[in-house]
Amino acid sequence: MNPSALLPATQTIVQDLEAVSHFPVSFAEDASLNVLASLSMATAQRPNHVLRYKPGVSALDYVIAAEAARAIRTFRHSPERRLRLAGAADARMQVAEDLEPRLPDVPDAQRSKLADLLFDGLLVQLLSAPVGILVDQALYREHPTLRPQQALSLEQQLQTVLQVLAPAYRQQFPERITHASRAINAAVAVASAELLRRPALAVAYRAAGLERIGLTLLAELPSDSNQVIDDPALISRWAELLDISTWLIWVPMAPQ
């Protein structure tokens, strides 16, 4: 991809990342991604950020801008607070144990793999959602040319995760997994509905009785858009409210 083909707003955000981190950004199309885009931060061994994106993304400028904006937040933390989220081994094992009575006919190896997917998926949700909401608010406020793509992407993402509201999801998977996942999605839906002024985006979560927990999580976000906050602390607070704080382990990122 030629970076000059990106919208000026996206180019500005990418340039801001390069300025604050002192590393260049390169781009790579990657069909193997499970998400729309992902940024691998530079290290001493690889002195450039690599922003990978799925081919055919319909809102490419927005997803690139959002990934770059997240990385900018990381570099605005002091080096000792540039952390990555890992999962506690005993919590991972507990999820596998909780799956056994729900899926007794599934082979152990397959059930263990499913437990890993559920556990890791929830941690990714927790890592991305609160910071993502703050990033979306900033992008909407500061870069109006991205708003059409932003609205399209947020609506598509919310439509994709509606499956967690299905009764079968609660029956098959452990309660703490389903409760936390649904609560995080509710917070994102309520925040997106307010940001885009599209109340319909949150209707399904209100109907499912999840608006209150969504608002509880959102109450932890700063009310002042200029307030600098500690992102790992915010994520840890959400984990406390979701009763999964013992699942989290914060470890230093690779030296920059």
Residue 44 pLDDT grade (very low, low, confident, very high; cuts 50, 70, 90): confident
Q: Is the pLDDT of residue 169 over 90?
A: no
- Taking residue 199's Cβ as centre, other Cβ atoms within 10 Å add up to 11
Does the pLDDT at position 256 exceed 70?
no
Q: Residue 255 pLDDT > 70, yes or no?
A: no
Q: What is the mean pLDDT of residues 127-154?
A: 97
pLDDT in tens, 184-242: 999 999 999 999 999 999 999 999 999 999 999 999 999 876 677 899 999 999 999 99
Are β-strands 37-40 and 25-29 bridged in parallel, bridged antiparallel, or unpaired? Answer: unpaired
pLDDT at 45: 85
> pLDDT averaged over the chain?
93
Distance CA 30, CA 63 (A): 14
Q: For CATH 3.30.2010, list the domain ranges present in the chain.
A: 3-75
- Per-residue pLDDT reduced to its tens digit, 86-118: 899 999 999 999 999 998 888 988 989 999 999
The answer on pLDDT for 52 being more than 90 is: yes
For residues 35 and 153, the answer to whether their CB atoms sit within 8 Å is: no
**CB 25: neighbour CB atoms within 10 A?**
21
Ranges of H-type helices in the chain:
8-21, 60-75, 89-99, 108-142, 147-160, 167-172, 175-196, 203-207, 211-218, 231-241
- For residue 247, count other CB atoms closer than 10 A to its CB: 23
Q: Which two tokens stand for residue 53?
A: 């994106």
Pick the CATH number of 3-75 from 3.30.2010, 3.40.50, 3.60.40, 3.30.70: 3.30.2010
Burial class for 2, CB neighbours closer than 10 Å (0-12, 13-18, 19+): exposed
